[in-house]
Structure 1
């Protein structure tokens, strides 16, 4: 099987946990790899970090420029006009990576799916529709693009969900993160939501909270 190319960071001991972390529009798998040394995780969680590279495709809102993207965005109203077929195809590639981790000895219940911005929209789709329980879903500065079409799977009805957003985000307005939180909570999911005084980025205080949350869900 052909998998998405990835940056992989192995733990000191044989991996018993995994985090698949998706970057945003125009970035690549190297974008979040520098965060790994700053995440404080328990020694019992030997985590393999997997940072996939999105394919390079034309992006309409950027004048058709070819760049790494999980799906095309056709209008600045990004929560309404996205190529959901491409998004779903990207989510399926994430599912393939989960299956590869299963083959490498890590059960789905020990795998976290994380994503920033565009990657967060794919993470929602991949995690909430996955047919085996996952360890958690971490969504940063993103939105739920496939609310009308996503097929929620009961296996992950009680998955821990952490949503984080910047209060001054000019790219993905915080109301979109709040809308995603409300949508999934209305369907019975337990969601932890945090907002930070930042724009479309990651801040030190947020990294501390990510460490705390990952320590809990990867225990």
Structure 2
């Protein structure tokens, strides 16, 4: 047998098989230096990752944080996928307008209904503000950017939201007040930092509110204008002292464009 004649076709066969195996391997893994399971090219698809954000919700007099947690289920937009919600409960304490009875309250409330000229217990408000600031500080220490922090509140919680945002030294993503009032006098404007004055404010109020009168809500924008701040005020005809789904849907649309994406 002539082995010289056989060597050439065998060599061609081996070379052909080698090329085929290499082609299959490259097709399955075009870049052998990249692990497809850990590749940033796989994870970075065509969307912008939502940055960490924080929404703090402050309830009204006599209420509790857990009772308000269903609110977050209405915020279904993708922007809220990486949002941390917090629904703290106010401590129980005697409330003057409730004849000294003990109930969950952020600060003492001297009279109901609340009007544009109701007396204020400002020292009590400032103690509550310190607690809210501690909650915000804790979240910032966890890595949330101040521009992605939103403080929202209803009734007494709305009044506390306003005071907390105005007196916080940094610019926050926004403050949203529902059926609230101004719990501080105009002298506190001097204590506001230039950064705090840049925080946007949304104010919503029912026109037929009999607990916190509509006039108390209407006093908000002029107060903020005096402080050099902008405020979007929305009046809801037929709405009493409660928060509606319409208000919450608008809150979602108001927060979304103010949320910052991760870089």
For residue 84 of structure 1, report the CA deviation from its aligned partner: 1.3
Residues in 2 aligned to 1:195 and 1:66: alpha-carbon distance in whole angstroms: 32
Q: 1:157 to 1:45 in 2, by over 3 A?
A: farther
Partner residue of 2:126 out of 88, 91, 102: 88
In the TM superposition, what whole-angstrom CA distance separates every residue of 1:33-90 from its partner, at most 9, and x where no partner exists?
A: 1111112333366110111111100011111110000111223363522321111111
For residue 155 of structure 1, report the CA deviation from its aligned partner: 0.7
For residue 122 of structure 1, report the CA deviation from its aligned partner: 1.1
Choose 1 or 2 for highest CA Rg: 2
Other-structure match for 1:18: 54
Match status 1:48 vs 2:84 = yes
Other-structure match for 1:124: 162
Alignment of 1:1-219 (within 5 A): 16-43=52-79, 46-76=82-112, 78=114, 79-150=117-188, 151-196=191-236, 197-219=238-260
Kept in 2, the 8 Å contact 1:75–1:82? The answer is: no
Kept in 1, the 8 Å contact 2:74–2:248? The answer is: yes
In the TM superposition, what whole-angstrom CA distance separates every residue of 1:116-168 from its partner, at most 9, and x where no partner exists?
A: 11111111111111111100010000000102342222112121110000011
Kept in 1, the 8 Å contact 2:112–2:212? The answer is: no
How many residues are matched?
207
TM-score in terms of structure 1 length: 0.88
Kept in 1, the 8 Å contact 2:58–2:65? The answer is: yes
Residues in 1 aligned to 2:235 and 2:66: alpha-carbon distance in whole angstroms: 25
More strand by percentage: 1
Residues in 2 aligned to 1:75 and 1:190: alpha-carbon distance in whole angstroms: 29
Unaligned runs of at least 5 residues, structure 2: 1-48
Residues in 1 aligned to 2:50 and 2:133: alpha-carbon distance in whole angstroms: 22
In the TM superposition, what whole-angstrom CA distance separates every residue of 1:82-111 from its partner, at most 9, and x where no partner exists?
A: 321111111100000011101211122210
Residues in 2 aligned to 1:76 and 1:184: alpha-carbon distance in whole angstroms: 23
Residues in 2 aligned to 1:128 and 1:216: alpha-carbon distance in whole angstroms: 21
Q: 1:45 to 1:128 in 2, by over 3 A?
A: farther
Partner of 2:103, secondary structure, is: strand
